[in-house]
Chain A
Amino acid sequence: MAGLRLALSLLRIPRLFVSLLLFPLFLSVILVIIQLWVTSFAMRTVTYTPKNLSEQFEERQKNNLVRKLVYGKGERVEHLEICRWQNIVDENGQHFEVPPQNGKCAPDRLDIAIHVKNPTSFDTSEYERIFEGNFERMHVCVRDCIPDAILSPEAEHPRADAYSFPALMLMNQVYFDEPEQKQYIKLFENKYNVLQSVGTQFFHANGYVAPVQLTNVTYELGLLASIASIVIIALWLAIKAHRRVLDYFARSGALLPMVAAMGKRDFYSAIWIVTILRVGAFLLASVPATYALFAGLGEAEDWGGIFERDIGHLLLWIVCLVVSFSFAAIVASIADLKHRYQLFAVCYRYLPLGLAVLGGAVWTLSFVLGDEGGLIRDILTCLPILGMGPIILVPLFQPHLNVLVINTLLTLVLTIWLIRSNARWFAAHLEDL
């Protein structure tokens, strides 16, 4: 009760409410939204079929964002007027160039120009094909036509100069425009047909309950990335909340009087309550958003083999993931705190990450081995921290349940041992925190 009172009293101070709850929550939700946006974009991109890719391209041709910004409408510009400038001499004997006086070639900054030695005979057909639809006029001259987009194809090193951002955007439409896109769609279609002919690939490796699906795993990868990022952000919030509150008290000198006045148990309860509030608020905001995204993407059959037969397997994986990341975060945090006055203290922070990468590398190499590889992978996946890589990939490479159980139990035992063995040190160095 006293712990709850302290937590609520802390949060009633506006400055603390913002720094302990509101700001980190806002930041975390933004991170999740960005992650979800990137994931959904990536998933939509890699799940194109030739049909929907064509549809999307056609839609982009009708409603192009750049043209909408520059010209106020997204459709293709109907006709590209070619204006070949003429050289004339004035009464003082000065040479200069003028556009054709046909009423259609009045120069505009949003036109494109080509500087060549002989404007009259220069073959513009390739440039017409490229820029048709995005510019209204193409001026061909030696030097006097100077809109914001200028090409110099006859220079020693051919170049394109843009003198304004709209001109730059219009010039770059060439890469997304019809001729190029059609070639891309053709290539894509060929590759898609090959994939369709071969079918979904499965890799039968030793030690896994199901063959590993290697193609059409976009949804699994997306979900995996989302769950992993939510777990990582939640743990970051949890660990950071602990440090933040302790730092806040320690820096002001209020830590010892407050711990003494509240009692250690109630003081730490208050920190846990703040932590739970932070993580809880974050999960409340991010989990429904993630669910909504994935529910709206694809049909049930798109979810392939991801724990399709076993919800227990899915839950165990999430528990294992949370325990593993918690342990890694606690190892990093304790090592960082205890050795922070040493020269290479910052390295301790990345120690678990380094070990996880090492474990992941050995796990990957084990696939080139024969039957022994399965045993090595099982042992490695059972190990805390070293087995983090394979644990993250469990939705794809599904090990036996007992491997997940052993990893979870071993990690829990090590976490409890780590906290207990360091409790005395932390109690003795309260004010150093």
Chain B
Amino acid sequence: MSNRQQVTIEAEGFSVGYDGNVVLSTGKVELTGNVIALAGHNGAGKSTFMKALLGLLPPESGQLRARNANTGELLRPERHMAFCPETGSVFSDITVKEYLKLWCRLKAPRGNYFQQEGAELLEVLELYPLLPKKGRELSKGQKQRVQTAAGFFTNPLFFLFDEPFDGLDVQRTHELMNIIRERSPNIAFLVSSHRMDVVERLADRVLVLQEGKVKTYGPTNEVSRHLCERMFVIEDCSAPEILREKLEANFPESFVYQLGESIRFASSGTSQEELLGFIRQVDTNGARMSEVSPTLTDAMSLHLRLLKQDSEIK
């Protein structure tokens, strides 16, 4: 067992729906991790999954819950969890200081907790200049930082972030990742994101949703392998652009992209021999091909491409 705070997400035949349409149906899931990422296409059910875990949506059937993996205790949203929505949140007509004070009065030991024990977090999140500003004067990213701080002030065991990296530049992304990493020994995280490059570096477990159902879940490398069985790197080809175009045309159920002079080829069904034979026909200069482990970015790209093809066929 890791010495970091870990949670187990458990689902048993859980489903929720609006107006008779089921929008999330999980089947059976048991996933333990420290930083768990929720991935999937737009509308896959990531936000619904988070709201359901927070007990905000009444289930049609089954249950979805989180447990402290270190102690086995069932986590209650109001006691153990914090949540930062995609848009962040601060009341428009009160100052950030008043908003943080409100949160501290409600969930922290004292109203001025944020200026004492929480001062370091204000520094890290660069919130001091924002304290006198009103909610309506803040950008989306600033509101997210405020709500992130408010969430941390409640001393949660499990912090749920909905699309925290959306719209952040490289520097801010890096800073937020650091904050999550620094706190991960004591807090487990559930992070929904489209940014697979970030998720790959941050998360130890991934749960992929597809059209309201769980596609796969597990350790990041296993999920990548599940979504993308074979990943090849092709190097030393005479005309990489031409080869990429021909690969794309001939292997529609694959994801091909060029990185400098090399080509990366992700596929679930293509064998090494079949691919090598095709490359020899197109490129007679003796291009080299080697199989590598797929990254989560490659795997999700292939997954989304296949999903798009499916929907076009339908």
- Partner-B contacts on A (CB < 8 A): 2, 5-6, 9-10, 12-13, 15-16, 248, 251-254, 256-257, 259-264, 266, 423-425, 427-430
Most buried by B among A12, A251, A253, A425: A253
Which residues of chain A are near B92, meaning CB under 8 Å? Answer: 251-252
How far apart are A254's CB and chain B's nearest CB, in angstroms? 4
Using a CB-CB cutoff of 8 Å, which residues 64-102 of chain B contact chain A?
A: 76-78, 81-85, 87-94, 98, 102
- Smallest CB gap from B143: residue in A: A253
15 more A-B contacts (CB under 8 A) besides A260-B56, A262-B106? A6-B106, A9-B105, A13-B94, A251-B92, A252-B92, A252-B135, A253-B89, A253-B143, A256-B83, A256-B85, A260-B83, A261-B78, A261-B106, A428-B57, A430-B56
How far apart are A166's CB and chain B's nearest CB, in angstroms? 46
Which residues of chain B are near A424, meaning CB under 8 Å? Answer: 58
How far apart are A252's CB and chain B's nearest CB, in angstroms? 4
Using a CB-CB cutoff of 8 Å, which residues 37-55 of chain B contact chain A?
A: 51, 54-55
* CB <8 Å contact, B78 and A260: yes
What is the number of contacts between chain A and chain B, taking CB atoms within 8 Å? 89
Which residues of chain B are near A16, meaning CB under 8 Å? Answer: 91, 94
Interface CB pairs A-B, < 8 A, 15: A5-B105, A13-B98, A253-B85, A253-B143, A256-B51, A256-B56, A257-B82, A257-B150, A257-B151, A260-B54, A260-B77, A260-B83, A261-B77, A427-B57, A428-B58
How far apart are B31's CB and chain A's nearest CB, in angstroms? 20
Which residues of chain B are near A5, meaning CB under 8 Å? Answer: 105-106
* CB <8 Å contact, A260 and B81: yes
Instruction: Classify the interface of chain B: helix, strand, loop or mixed.
Output: mixed
- In Å, the complex CA distance between A6 and B151 comes to 16
- In Å, the complex CA distance between A425 and B77 comes to 21
* CB <8 Å contact, B19 and A425: yes
Q: Does B224 interact with chain A (Cβ within 8 Å)?
A: no
Which residues of chain B are near A248, meaning CB under 8 Å? Answer: 91
Q: Does B32 interact with chain A (Cβ within 8 Å)?
A: no
Q: Does B210 interact with chain A (Cβ within 8 Å)?
A: no
Which residues of chain A are near B90, meaning CB under 8 Å? Answer: 252-254
Which residues of chain B are near A259, meaning CB under 8 Å? Answer: 54, 56
- In Å, the complex CA distance between A264 and B58 comes to 11
Which residues of chain A are near B106, meaning CB under 8 Å? Answer: 2, 5-6, 9, 261-262
- In Å, the complex CA distance between A16 and B58 comes to 30
Using a CB-CB cutoff of 8 Å, which residues 173-224 of chain B contact chain A?
A: none
Q: Does B16 interact with chain A (Cβ within 8 Å)?
A: yes
How far apart are A429's CB and chain B's nearest CB, in angstroms? 7
How far apart are B277's CB and chain A's nearest CB, in angstroms? 53
Most buried by A among B16, B54, B154: B54
- Smallest CB gap from A265: residue in B: B78
Using a CB-CB cutoff of 8 Å, which residues 208-245 of chain B contact chain A?
A: none
Interface bits B98-137 vs A (CB < 8 Å: 1, else 0): 1000110111000000000000000000000000000100
